[in-house]
Amino acid sequence: SPGPIIEQFTLNFTITNLRFTTDLGTPSSARFNSTKKIMQHYIDPLFKRSSISSAYTGCKVMRFRSGRDRDNTGVDAVCSYKTNDSLATFDREKVYHELSTMTNGVTKLGHYSLERNSLYISG
């Protein structure tokens, strides 16, 4: 039987207390890099406490974008997990509900406030 295959899914959400600026939208800028590290600090533990924890291999923040309100910042990440018969399967709806619960109904991520209906997971 073949070894694990790496699969990907996207994670998107909007932060309401992180003002979007052009340097945040510029990959490799100091602000982009520091905010990316902070997001990793908050995102990774969520998945490590989820039903896919044994298969989770990490998320990479790809971009920050302006939200509907310029005071909001959208976050787009690509996440990876291993899949084979012995590992937990990726159930997008189940993971969404787990993340929703862990972020107080999609309202808090650490010291950041989230736009309630902004969490999206594709799989």
**Domain residue limits, the chain:** 5-122
**Chain centroid offset of residue 93 CA:** 15
Mean pLDDT, rounded, for 118-123 = 91
Count of other CB atoms within 10 angstroms of residue 122? 9
Answer yes or no: CATH 3.30.70.960 is held by domain 5-122.
yes
User: Bigger pLDDT: 71 or 102?
Assistant: 102
Q: What is the pLDDT of residue 68?
A: 79
Q: What is the DSSP string of 26-91?
A: STTSHHHHHHHHHHHHHHHHHHHTSTTTTTEEEEEEEEEEE-SSTT-EEEEEEEEEEESTTSPP--
Report pLDDT digits (tens) over 75-105: 999 999 988 766 667 889 999 999 999 999 9
Separation between Cα atoms, residue 76 and residue 59, nearest integer Å: 10
Q: What is the pLDDT of residue 71?
A: 84
Report pLDDT digits (tens) over 6-55: 999 999 999 999 999 999 999 999 999 999 999 999 999 999 999 989 88
